[in-house]
């Protein structure tokens, strides 16, 4: 996500506009877009401030810290649990890769089931 322009730049842009320079000229001078200059003037008119809007938040993660503890407990109790079984036990509708990345990020590992790997006698 791009960072908001500094307040110093915002003030200099508005001062240049107040001196009578055109939006296109101000945008070129400060290496910003004309729409930024226009929106900055609009924000000052409507809200009386040059401050950037606060961040909107974004999407909330599907796996919470409580799920992390549950994952740790489930894998400690039965280390050869599959991702599909973990997903069922958590009761979530998430993609297996989402679950895998979380397990990996937590530093948890899966123990291979020795019985399932043997096909020949």
Residue 116 pLDDT exceeds 60: no
Q: Is the pTM of this model over 0.85?
A: no
Please count the residues of the chain: 121
Residue 67 pLDDT exceeds 60: yes
CATH code assigned to 65-105:
1.10.10
Comparing C-alpha atoms, which of 57, 58, 43 is closest to residue 7? 43
Distance in angstroms (rounded) separating the CA atoms of residues 62 and 69: 14
């Amino acid at each position: 996500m791009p960072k908001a322009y500094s307040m110093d730049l915002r003030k200099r842009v508005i001062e240049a506009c107040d001196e009578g320079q055109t939006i296109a000229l101000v945008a070129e001078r400060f290496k910003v877009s004309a729409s930024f200059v226009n929106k900055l003037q609009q924000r000052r008119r409507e809200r009386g401030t040059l401050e950037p809007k606060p961040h909107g938040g974004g999407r909330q993660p599907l796996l919470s810290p409580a799920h992390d503890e549950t994952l740790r407990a489930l894998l400690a109790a039965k280390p050869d649990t599959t991702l599909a079984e973990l997903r069922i036990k958590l009761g979530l509708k998430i993609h297996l890769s989402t679950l895998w990345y979380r397990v990996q990020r937590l530093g948890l590992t899966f123990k291979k089931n020795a019985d399932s790997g043997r096909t020949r006698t």
